[in-house]
Amino acid sequence: MTDSPEKENLGFLSNEENVTSKDIAVVRLHGRNTTRDHYWYDYLYSEKELAPWVHKIKRIKEETDNVFVYFNNHYSGKAIVNALQFKEMINDQPLSENENNALERARKYISNSV
């Protein structure tokens, strides 16, 4: 499964009903940037945008033994921020001190690179 810009018309790839394997599911979040000539990956998801994926992943987990979520929005470390945010959201518990430190360093890096 994947998440990508809506204008690419790939919504069918984000439908959790399309899981085809009992053993493994892979979800790749590319980003949704539509400016700058297809730079999908230069995108920072908001928590509001990630929230539906929390529900989708939980539904997929009911049907599949292993679910891997891969953030491919890698420009300026945005994947690090979103992966840690998503981990906190899906586990419904706070991040560890080390994870919080990494999250804050990544956020600072992003704000300095804009």
In angstroms, the CA 28 to CA 73 distance is 9
Residue 9: pLDDT over 60: no
Residue 12: is its pLDDT beyond 60?
Answer: no
- Per-residue pLDDT of 86-98, as tens digits, reads 999 999 999 999 9
Instruction: Using the predicted structure, report yes or no on whether residue 14 has a pLDDT greater than 70.
Output: no
What CATH number is associated with residue 47? 3.20.20.410
If you average pLDDT over residues 23-51, what whole number do you get? 87
The tens digit of pLDDT for each residue in 73-89 reads 988 889 999 999 999 99
Amino acid at 72: N
Q: CA distances (Å), 37 to each of 30, 40, 100, 106, 114, in order?
A: 15, 9, 33, 25, 18
Note down the domain range covering 39: 2-113
Number of domains in the chain: 1
